[in-house]
């Protein structure tokens, strides 16, 4: 089937099912809760949703450890609930993406349960097993470390070998060198695509191929494996290319030049990818509460805006693996609403497909966690590891300060729906701490307030549709690139311009505008302040102010 590339006009909204909406009072979000909120998502104005994993899982890594790819997690509901949810979105013209997690499975998956039984089991080669080192062969095959702490190898007494797990020990890595593994993954994809799912976000997809000399290879070689592109080509032929899909890959190890090749439409690999350069642009001191250095942030964003015409990008500020963009990229506090709107404008009019994360449209913020509040395996393990080190109490204090700023838990607090108990998320005991600012920040109050962050997103998303040709195909040009307070750019197509000027500073700022943009007739399309903003060669901006202009082609030079 020929791809329509529908995603070039789309905005995608990510849902973290566990924290979105609980329909049955057990304190855990579920599929019926998502269905209840389908009208809310439609009213926002997005075109697709991406669901973090809702497959059967023992939840060692909140669903990213899958025990059955073709069934639904008990806490989330049933396959019938999924089908109703899928239909509800499709009835509203909203496409649905699933999270494809196939670098590893749960150790409770039937494949692994069989694999560990004996060395001659038919499923033995579905995973990566190696002899240990030392006279008793009980030392790990190499010194690789797991992303969640500890060795990347786990010893199994039954067969007296180690299995590889680049993440949790309950997430054994699949052996993609085995053709039967690749066939099984294609079958899983086709199962969901036949149901009507519209594509996948592929978790750590560049990790799937491992170096040949595994014991002696550097761990850095696994971040972008030697044959992952070959395997994705094969998977596309067997599955993705038979449907009009969007395939977006999480690609931590891919730099800009390689991204240009990988996302080229003729390559037949990924339609777009998530890079990590901009979200890695943290302050020099990781414990600082200051926002990210804007000049560095802009340099990264602007470089990724220069993908060739035959390639496509994904743009995002938040997701389930990142803390909230407030106060990371712009100040919170008294400027929170203005800052959230300014970030919205700066994101939604870049070139590429924007991905919004649940609660971002409300300006939700990081949560003031204490040690016992963390639920993410990465945070919990890091705190435990610090306690074991010399001066553990001292190190733990610094670790907690770091986690308050950068922990994945910040994005996973329950959605703030209203001012009722538990923010309207659940009638029971929530699985995770709810941010106490829900009385101030919640969907119900914002829907009713035309000056809210939510309504600003609605207006911006509507303007994206009105100016779809410029937003999709227009040339991107940075404005006042070295400005350390303002992110500004134009989108231009056939002599017609959109000019976005977004202050991300808690102080008053100014932005230099090229003279040719000031001589035509400018129409102010959107702003986040009631104060007038004059389009002159120097635009003066109150704290966190943003504005979007259309500049007519007749008088532009």
Going by C-alpha positions, the residue among 223, 225, 229 that lies closest to residue 252 is 223
**DSSP-derived pairing of the beta strands 353-357 and 12-15:** parallel
Cα dihedral 414, 415, 416, 418 sign: negative
**Cα separation of 449 and 293, whole Å?**
32
**Cα separation of 555 and 496, whole Å?**
10
| Contact between 117 and 105 (Cβ < 8 Å) | no
Instruction: Note the Cα 259 to chain centre separation in Å.
Output: 17
Residues found in the chain: 557
**Cα separation of 517 and 535, whole Å?**
9
Phi, psi of 194 (to 5 degrees): -65, -30
Q: Which residue matches tokens 């410029």? A: 470
Cα dihedral 284, 290, 293, 297 sign: positive
- Percent helix, strand and coil across the chain, each rounded to 5? 35, 20, 45
Q: Is 537 a catalytic residue?
A: no
Catalytic residue among 250, 271, 318, 400: 250
For the chain, how far is it from start to end, CA to CA, in angstroms? 43
**Cα separation of 475 and 516, whole Å?**
16
| Contact between 148 and 167 (Cβ < 8 Å) | yes
**Beta carbons within 10 angstroms of residue 73's beta carbon:** 23
Cis amide bond preceding 327, omega within 30: yes
Catalytic residue among 47, 61, 203, 480: 203
**Cα separation of 172 and 113, whole Å?**
11
The sheet that has 246-250: what strands, in order across it? 272-274, 246-250, 199-202, 95-100, 48-51, 12-15, 353-357, 314-316
Q: Which residues of 324-352 are buried (b: 16+ CB within 10 A; e: fewer)?
A: bbbbbbbbbeebbbbbbbbbbbbbbbbbb
Q: Which residues of 275-306 are buried (b: 16+ CB within 10 A; e: fewer)?
A: bebbbebbeeeeeeeebbebeebbbbbbebbe
Q: How many CA atoms lie within 13 A of 333 on its CB side?
A: 11
Helix (H/G/I), strand (E/B), else coil: 250: strand
**Cα separation of 346 and 511, whole Å?**
14
**Cα separation of 20 and 106, whole Å?**
24
Q: Is 187 a catalytic residue?
A: no
**Beta carbons within 10 angstroms of residue 221's beta carbon:** 16
**Beta carbons within 10 angstroms of residue 439's beta carbon:** 12
Point out the residues that are catalytic.
Answer: 203, 250
């Amino acid at each position: 089937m020929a791809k329509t590339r529908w995603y070039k006009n789309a905005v995608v909204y990510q849902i973290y099912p566990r924290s979105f909406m609980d329909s049955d009072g057990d304190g855990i979000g579920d599929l019926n809760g998502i269905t209840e909120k389908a009208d809310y998502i439609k009213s926002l104005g997005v075109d697709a949703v991406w669901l973090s994993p809702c497959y059967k899982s023992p939840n060692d890594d909140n669903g990213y450890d899958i025990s059955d790819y073709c069934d639904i997690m008990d806490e989330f509901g049933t396959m019938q609930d999924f089908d109703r949810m899928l239909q509800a979105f499709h009835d509203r013209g909203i496409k649905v993406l699933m999270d494809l997690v196939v670098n590893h499975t749960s150790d409770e998956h039937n494949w692994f349960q069989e694999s560990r039984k004996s060395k001659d089991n038919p499923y033995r080669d579905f995973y990566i097993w190696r002899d240990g080192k030392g006279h008793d062969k009980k030392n790990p095959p190499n010194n690789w470390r797991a992303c969640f702490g500890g060795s990347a190898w786990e010893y199994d007494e039954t067969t007296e070998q180690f299995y590889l797990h680049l993440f949790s020990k309950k997430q054994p890595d699949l052996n993609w060198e085995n053709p039967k593994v690749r066939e099984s993954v294609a079958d899983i994809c086709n199962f969901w695509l036949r149901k009507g799912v519209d594509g996948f976000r592929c978790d750590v997809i560049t990790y799937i191929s491992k170096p040949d000399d595994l014991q002696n290879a550097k761990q850095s070689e696994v971040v972008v494996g030697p044959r992952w592109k070959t395997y994705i080509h094969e998977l596309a032929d067997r599955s993705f290319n038979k449907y009009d899909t969007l395939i977006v890959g999480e690609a931590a190890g891919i730099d800009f030049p390689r991204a240009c090749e990988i996302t080229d439409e003729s390559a037949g690999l990924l339609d777009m990818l998530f890079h990590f350069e901009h979200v890695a642009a943290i302050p020099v001191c990781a414990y600082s509460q200051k926002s990210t250095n804007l000049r560095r942030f802009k340099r990264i964003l602007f470089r990724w805006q220069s993908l060739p015409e035959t390639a496509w990008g994904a743009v995002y500020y938040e997701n389930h693996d990142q803390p909230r963009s407030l106060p990371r990229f712009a100040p919170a506090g008294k400027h929170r609403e203005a800052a959230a709107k300014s970030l919205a404008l700066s994101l939604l009019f870049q070139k590429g497909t924007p991905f919004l994360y649940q609660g971002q449209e409300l300006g939700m913020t990081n949560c003031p966690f204490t040690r016992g509040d963390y639920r993410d395996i990465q945070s919990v393990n890091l705190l435990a590891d610090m306690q074991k080190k010399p001066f553990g109490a001292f190190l733990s204090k610094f670790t907690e300060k770091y986690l308050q700023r950068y922990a994945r838990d910040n994005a996973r607090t329950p959605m703030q729906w209203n001012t009722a108990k538990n923010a309207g998320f659940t009638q029971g005991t929530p699985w995770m701490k709810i941010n106490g600012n829900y009385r101030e920040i919640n969907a119900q109050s914002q829907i009713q307030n035309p000056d809210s962050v939510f309504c600003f997103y609605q207006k911006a998303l509507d303007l994206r549709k009105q100016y779809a040709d410029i937003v999709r195909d227009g040339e991107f040009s940075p404005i006042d690139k070295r400005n350390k307070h303002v992110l500004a750019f134009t989108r231009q197509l056939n002599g017609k311009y959109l000019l976005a000027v977004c202050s991300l500073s808690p102080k008053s700022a100014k932005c230099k505008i090229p003279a040719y943009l000031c001589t035509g007739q400018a129409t102010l399309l959107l702003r986040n302040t009631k104060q007038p903003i004059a389009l002159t060669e120097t635009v003066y901006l109150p704290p966190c102010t943003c504005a979007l202009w259309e500049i007519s082609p007749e008088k532009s030079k």
